[in-house]
Amino acid sequence: MEKNKRSLELLLEKTVDYGKTSFELAKLEALDKGSAVVSSFISHSVIIVLIASFLIFLNLGLAFWLGKILGEIYLGFFVVSALYVIAGIVFHFFIHKRLKGYIYNSIIRNILNK
């Protein structure tokens, strides 16, 4: 009887240790996934900021250049903004759904680490 009681206590201790270890493992895995998602977001954000800065200066240069060609600076800005309206319409009707799916799948893939 004493042997069964000791075995039961040992089994209970091992179960508690297993539960604590499993909890710690789950915390570490969540921390790993969270840090991977955050670091990926930050690195992509830096790249997006750099590309946006490049595009802003490119657009300003293009607008001033077109304005000089057209005779009035403001006309260059109107032409550039019209190009953006056309690009926005094309994007909305032809590319939006695919890009949304790609971003969605990328986030899921990043979280699941596949």
pLDDT tens sequence across 25-75: 988 888 888 887 788 788 889 999 999 999 999 999 999 999 999 999 999
**CA angle, residues 98, 45, 33, in degrees to nearest 5:** 80
Distance between CA atoms of 4 and 105, rounded to whole angstroms?
53
Domain count for the chain: 1
Residue with tokens 């990926």: 40
Q: φ, ψ for residue 113 (rounded to 5)?
A: 60, 50
* 5 three-state secondary structure: helix
pTM of the model: 0.59
Task: Tell me which residue range forms the domain holding 43.
Answer: 2-112
| DSSP 8-class letter at 72 | S
What is the token pair recorded at 8?
Answer: 């039961």
Per-residue pLDDT, 73: 93
